[in-house]
Structure 1
Amino acid sequence: MTSAPEGAYRTVPYGPSPEQFGEYWPGGDGAAAVLIHGGYWRARYRLDLMRLMAADLNARGYAVWNIEYRRMDMPGGGRPGTFDDVSAALDAMAGLGGGAVDPARVALVGHSAGGHLALWAAHRAAGPGRLSPAAVVSLAGVCDLAAAARLGLSDDAVRTLLGGGPDEVPEVYRWADPAALAPIDVPQLVVHGTADEDVPIGLSEAYAEAAGRAATLLTLPDTDHMDVITPGTAAWTRIAEELARLLPPRR
């Protein structure tokens, strides 16, 4: 899942670390999507997971900012570095494209652990220089960290990220866990496939319940963990349609 049209995007740093960069796909009329890849916050997974999805969204009329960040098993990653990077990359979106991106028309789209990071970023307090998303899309997201920690998902990835379980460091979970931070007044699309064997669908169901009316839970039958980020699948076609309703590009 790495190929893309030559010259379709350019690599832009948003910080001094080699992992603090993104791939910017220009275009559209100001509507933009920030893509956050997953991989249980580990170094072996990279932003190339989202490249075909970025190309598809760009062809649909969006500028795209596909971001990389320091993961928890590399220098500077984990808490708070991983979170700081996502926050900094999101705020950098407003300066991309020579002002071509409308800060009021940006959607966050995260997959798996990236779904967690997208929802977390949407809960940040507003402030000068901070970009507030118009919509958030979680695709098979790890969006209930306390539940994920208790299940021990992916060799206790959440405990490693946060330095313990919800009973050991409850204040960290109150800060980092979207299910604990909900609700927020931002439209949210929470997508999960019934055939997902990597992230249990119950995490999305629990988050959507906590998020209330601002969140729409989209359950996709016979859909696995990667279908939701793979252009050409029925799942991705439906997701792109729903994103266009949340944040329509004007043509």
Structure 2
Amino acid sequence: MTQSLPTELDLGWPPPPFLAPQPPLVGEDGVRHFEGITYATTPGYRPRLLDVHVPATDEPVPAVVWIHGGGWLEGDRRYPPPTVPVDLLHGSVLQAGLALVCIDYRHSLEAPFPAQLHDVKAALRYLRRFADGLGIDADRIGVWGESAGGHLAALAGLVSPDGPDGTALEGATGVRDEDSAVRAVVDWYGVSELVSLLSHPLPPSPADVEYPNPFTALLGGTADQLPELARAASPVTYAGAAAPPSFLLVHGTADELVPYSQSEVLAEALERAGGDVTLQPVDGADHIFLGAADVTPIVAASVAFLARHLGV
């Protein structure tokens, strides 16, 4: 842990009380929808929200936490990338007997890394605190993210309080006294090694939109601090963690924004550490699977992986 890595503020008082979820809305199909639950707050920032969708059953079910992409600069918990229909993603998870949890997190111009990971960890701890009221099995939780969300999903699976920089990366926002571990990770075209991406050329932005560099915006800091900050924000840094969860990495081979080699590097690091990892290339696909003939089998394979490893 270096002094240049930002940490969660120690505010000097306990976090605000987090209330049990209110009764859900129940659809005609029996699916229960808990919407807009505040799972974490930080003075001066918007509250972080999550939605929980639980299939129609009286038994606790495993849960999948969906983490949206958007270059850590934008995005919305309610929507997957435009190449993946909402009904396909949500329906596939629920039909497999899994609960779907969609979370917000702070964007990089609100707060630099590791605020985003702190929020993901806080969401996981919240789910465990209130698992009974939500109808989920606290012992069977996985994470699934795309792009920036894939990066955060990988970190959520690899970073623990007992590992390198673990206490600082766990954060102290939201519910504190619960475990944030997960059983399985699905990482769609996420960043794994940020140091090399600091010099990676980016595709041109749309003519009417001016985007900051997503990698340097995430890290903050001065130019001389960026390499060390990038190392601290890279999942490969933690790939040697003891007993990592099972990983599925899915990545387009023609991705111009996040090169396919990013998933190769993480897969190799996990294999060296003895981890259970599957790398699934999507031939000829760019970022967000643009150019893929059909995303349905990609979604199906990801859901099947999660169902298998979460014990459905």
Q: Quote the Cα distance in structure 2 between the aligned partners of 1:192 and 1:173.
A: 21
- Do residues 62 (structure 1) and 98 (structure 2) align? yes
Q: Quote the Cα distance in structure 2 between the aligned partners of 1:91 and 1:83.
A: 12
Residues 1:196 and 1:65: Cα distance change in structure 2 (over 3 Å)? same
2:38 equivalent in structure 1: 13
Q: Quote the Cα distance in structure 1 between the aligned partners of 2:142 and 2:217.
A: 28
What's the Cα RMSD here? 2.9
Q: Quote the Cα distance in structure 2 between the aligned partners of 1:167 and 1:178.
A: 21
Q: Quote the Cα distance in structure 2 between the aligned partners of 1:36 and 1:107.
A: 11
Q: Quote the Cα distance in structure 2 between the aligned partners of 1:81 and 1:247.
A: 27
Q: Quote the Cα distance in structure 2 between the aligned partners of 1:165 and 1:142.
A: 21
1:38 equivalent in structure 2: 69
Task: Quote the offset at 1:39 in angstroms.
Answer: 0.7
2:232 equivalent in structure 1: 175
Q: Quote the Cα distance in structure 2 between the aligned partners of 1:205 and 1:241.
A: 22
Residues 1:100 and 1:176: Cα distance change in structure 2 (over 3 Å)? same
Counterpart of 2:77 (choices 20, 42, 47) is 47
Counterpart of 2:183 (choices 134, 152, 168) is 134
**Paired residues for 1:70-149 under 5 Å:** 70-74=106-110, 77-94=111-128, 95-96=130-131, 98=133, 100-126=135-161, 128-149=177-198
- Supply the AA of the counterpart residue of 1:14: Y
Question: Under a length normalisation based on structure 2, what TM-score does the superposition of the two structures give?
Answer: 0.68
- Do residues 236 (structure 1) and 299 (structure 2) align? yes
Higher share in helix:
1
Q: Which stretch shifts more, 90-99 or 160-169?
A: 160-169
Q: Which stretch shifts more, 142-151 or 57-66?
A: 142-151
Identity value in percent: 31
Residues 1:191 and 1:225: Cα distance change in structure 2 (over 3 Å)? same
- Supply the AA of the counterpart residue of 1:119: A
1:160 equivalent in structure 2: 217
SS at match of 1:35: strand
Contact 2:62 2:310 (8 Å CA) reproduced: yes
- Supply the AA of the counterpart residue of 1:144: E
Greater C-alpha Rg: 2
SS at match of 1:172: helix
Task: Quote the offset at 1:31 in angstroms.
Answer: 0.9
Task: Quote the offset at 1:227 in angstroms.
Answer: 3.9
Residues 1:233 and 1:85: Cα distance change in structure 2 (over 3 Å)? same
Q: Quote the Cα distance in structure 1 between the aligned partners of 2:76 and 2:118.
A: 17
Question: Under a length normalisation based on structure 1, what TM-score does the superposition of the two structures give?
Answer: 0.83
Q: Which stretch shifts more, 57-66 or 125-134?
A: 125-134
Residues 1:104 and 1:150: Cα distance change in structure 2 (over 3 Å)? farther
- Supply the AA of the counterpart residue of 1:180: T
Q: Which stretch shifts more, 138-147 or 170-179?
A: 170-179
Q: Quote the Cα distance in structure 1 between the aligned partners of 2:261 and 2:62.
A: 31
